[in-house]
Structure 1
Amino acid sequence: MVTGIIAEYNPFHKGHEYHLSQAKINTNANSIVCVMSGNFMQRGIPAIIDKWKRTEMALKSGIDLVIELPLVYSLSSAEHFAFGAVSLLNSLNIIDNLYFGSEEGNIKILKNIAEVLVKEPDNYKIMLKNYLNLGLPFHLCRANALRDFFNSNHILECISNSNNILGIEYIKSLILLNSKIKPLTLKREGSKYNDKSLNNTFSSATSIRNYLKNKNLGDLKSFLPKESYDILYNLSKENYPFIFEENMFQYIKYKLLTDGKSIDNIPDISEGLDNKILKEVVTSTSLNDLILNSKSKRYTYTRLNRILTQFFLGLEKYNLLKLSKEPCPYCRILGFNSKGKNLLKNIKRNGDINLITKIPRNNISECLEIDLIGTKGYSILNHKLNPMQDYLTSPIIL
């Protein structure tokens, strides 16, 4: 059995360690393949450490093969993030199961919701239309229609939790791709994903990043697996900079003040949001200020973070919406162990996708071009990274 995991590992923590151990047990997995975000995360933030260091964490913690989720998906909505990752796993033609964490923990409920959203039964469409006619935001209309369709208030709670939302999107993508991969879920324990305080059970990645930003790394020893802690500790000794979203602000502000109108080309921008951002940036002294002053019921904090990060990277020059709706066009190998080496042989025999271990110098697709831009942008924030690092770094082999 080969099981797929979709993750960011920003950084790899004890909750991830538990998820990985349960994936091996509950799916009878001989091998684990992880699709991992590169240098920018789905919430619109840069990774605290670069993708190769996070790959090393994953491999030392028990992942057999790490492949990169292209930036066009990793810096996108839950729907497109999920579709990119699932289409990548599906195209390998070796994955038996997809194992993900969720607040719900009941795969049947998540599958039922996903099937309704994909197939849209007539009753559901009528309910959705009735709510849309009231002028409510789409996500509220959809939530209310699902509640009414299932006649269950629990559905509202279910689809308000971030990991449930991603899980539903994973299952939707499996259905749309007519995939043979079986979805399975593990009930999430410990902190919520955005909790800022450390938890004795499983601390969230958010709380660990928050701690790294404000306090001494040494106190994190009991909240991280030894492999992760050792890598972070060694990096700190080398004066490696831990990267946070605020590191982008001065560049975003300069670009907005000098070329602000081009933000209108980011797909998520509409309804005068560009004008609101351009007005607020003049008096904002931090990225947090700018987002808080620009956000609304329609434009959440995370959505604005993604928009501004896409703008920081110069992605307004690309048709992100079109690219993110297409199946992942290649499989970029970040690292593997001996089991992963055998998996790669099977992918070469059975897969429907181009494997990339070395970046070509020409004939690069738009999707891969965006990945290279992502590393260049990240290198502005992280002086330890060469802007051309994608060309310089081979897959990590353990």
Structure 2
Amino acid sequence: MKHSSLNICGVITEYNPFHEGHAHHLRQARALTNCDCLVCIVSDYFSQRGLPSLMTWQDKTRLALDHGADLVIRLPAVYAAQSADHFARYAMESLSVLGVSTIVFGSECHDDRLLEKLADETGQIMPDPTTSQARNLPALQPNDILGLQYIRQCRRLGIGWKTIPRDPGFISATASRRAFFDGRPVDQADCMLAQQRWESYYPFLRLSLLMTAPGRLKDFFLVTEGIEYRLAQSARTHRTWEEFLESAISRTYSRARIQRTCLMILLQVTWEQ
């Protein structure tokens, strides 16, 4: 559904947590496109890497609206917590339904020609929801890896795109999370929830892994290639999340892949669903 009379810009975000770089992104998106409406799609309670979100959906919405967004929609965890190609697909299809004509995303390289070239190359890779794009493109930074997938989806859906350079002067979301959990001052700390970390969920995940037969674990989304046996073994031998995670990571299974898979088991999301 397209609304040709309106110039609608879209941004795809996580806000885990919201920081000044995100406010800059919203300002630049409006300035670059001179849009009539700025739509923000945000992952909700869990992020693309399978991490619990430090901020509630309501606080993310309020902060986005306070900093220039006109409309905020959420991308449920079952769609958000997937590899870059699937995350981009579901987010872009949602924005397309709203008639978005252009998206604006951050880029570490800020080289449109290079991103176009790499988007062509990644287009030859067969989509796989269990595979980390970072493993296929190890030289690229996270925003650029996502950017390639945004470009591919923009082409498919007939949507334009623009990039803004990532400003290293702004604290990253990763650094914000680390500062918060270390007890150091960080912007929007009053909106962050200390219990929103995998350590809080691991007892429930561990119990599920210990009490569920491997044959049943295979029914859960993203459980493939015998990973269920590795997760069950790690759960049997490790009582803390970090020990479990380090034990489960391998050359085949990245940290993000383990976190996403564990999230689907925790939420009891099946392949059939």
Report the TM range for the smaller structure's normalisation.
Answer: 0.7 to 0.9
Candidates 210, 224, 228, aligned match of 2:178: 210
Aligned counterparts of 2:133 and 2:47: Cα–Cα separation in 1:
22
The Cα shift of 1:26 comes to 1.7
Give the conservation status (yes or no) of the 8 Å contact 1:103–1:161: yes
Aligned counterparts of 2:135 and 2:170: Cα–Cα separation in 1:
34
Equivalent in the alignment of 1:4: 10
Give the 5 Å matches for 1:66-145.
66-93=72-99, 95-118=100-123, 120=124
**Mapped pair 1:259 → 2:239:** no
The Cα shift of 1:291 comes to 1.5
Classify 1:312/1:141 alpha carbon distance in 2 versus 1 (closer, same or farther; 3 Å). closer
Give the conservation status (yes or no) of the 8 Å contact 1:10–1:48: yes
SS in 2 for 1:47: coil
**Mapped pair 1:34 → 2:40:** yes
Classify 1:68/1:141 alpha carbon distance in 2 versus 1 (closer, same or farther; 3 Å). closer
Aligned counterparts of 2:49 and 2:194: Cα–Cα separation in 1:
20
Classify 1:141/1:214 alpha carbon distance in 2 versus 1 (closer, same or farther; 3 Å). closer
Equivalent in the alignment of 2:4: none
Counterpart of 1:186, as a letter, is I
Equivalent in the alignment of 1:187: 165
The Cα shift of 1:58 comes to 1.1
Give the 5 Å matches for 1:1-398.
1-93=7-99, 95-118=100-123, 120=124, 157=139, 160-177=140-157, 179=158, 181-190=159-168, 201-216=169-184, 219-220=185-186, 224=187, 229=188, 232-233=189-190, 241-261=194-214, 262-315=216-269, 317-319=270-272
Aligned counterparts of 1:88 and 1:113: Cα–Cα separation in 2:
24
SS in 1 for 2:48: coil
SS in 2 for 1:19: helix
Counterpart of 2:106, as a letter, is G
The Cα shift of 1:175 comes to 2.1
| Structure 1 residues 264-308: Cα deviation after superposition (integer angstroms, max 9, x where no partner) | 223433333211211111121222211210111111001100000
Give the conservation status (yes or no) of the 8 Å contact 1:46–1:244: yes
Point out the structure with max Rg over C-alpha.
1
| Structure 1 residues 109-137: Cα deviation after superposition (integer angstroms, max 9, x where no partner) | 2122223433x4xxxx9xx9xxxxxxxx9
The Cα shift of 1:241 comes to 4.9
Give the conservation status (yes or no) of the 8 Å contact 2:8–2:37: yes
Aligned counterparts of 2:51 and 2:238: Cα–Cα separation in 1:
18
Give the conservation status (yes or no) of the 8 Å contact 1:252–1:311: yes
Classify 1:171/1:291 alpha carbon distance in 2 versus 1 (closer, same or farther; 3 Å). same
Counterpart of 1:209, as a letter, is R
Tell me the TM-score normalised to structure 1 length: 0.61
SS in 1 for 2:38: strand
SS in 2 for 1:282: helix
Give the conservation status (yes or no) of the 8 Å contact 1:49–1:242: no
Counterpart of 2:175, as a letter, is S
SS in 2 for 1:76: coil
Counterpart of 1:189, as a letter, is D
The Cα shift of 1:140 comes to 9.2
**More relative contact order, 1 or 2 (CA 8 Å, 6+ apart):** 1
Tell me the TM-score normalised to structure 2 length: 0.87
Aligned counterparts of 2:227 and 2:20: Cα–Cα separation in 1:
39
Classify 1:296/1:47 alpha carbon distance in 2 versus 1 (closer, same or farther; 3 Å). same
The Cα shift of 1:141 comes to 9.5
Classify 1:287/1:110 alpha carbon distance in 2 versus 1 (closer, same or farther; 3 Å). same
Unaligned runs of 5+ in 2: 1-6
The Cα shift of 1:73 comes to 1.3
Give the conservation status (yes or no) of the 8 Å contact 2:84–2:133: no
Aligned counterparts of 1:296 and 1:209: Cα–Cα separation in 2:
25
Amino-acid identity (%): 29
Where is the helix percentage greater, Structure 1 or Structure 2? 1
Aligned counterparts of 2:220 and 2:46: Cα–Cα separation in 1:
17
Counterpart of 1:31, as a letter, is C
Which stretches of structure 1, 4 residues or more, deviate above 4 A after TM superposition? 137-143
| Structure 1 residues 70-100: Cα deviation after superposition (integer angstroms, max 9, x where no partner) | 332111111110000001111112x221000
| Structure 1 residues 167-192: Cα deviation after superposition (integer angstroms, max 9, x where no partner) | 00111112233x2x2111111121xx
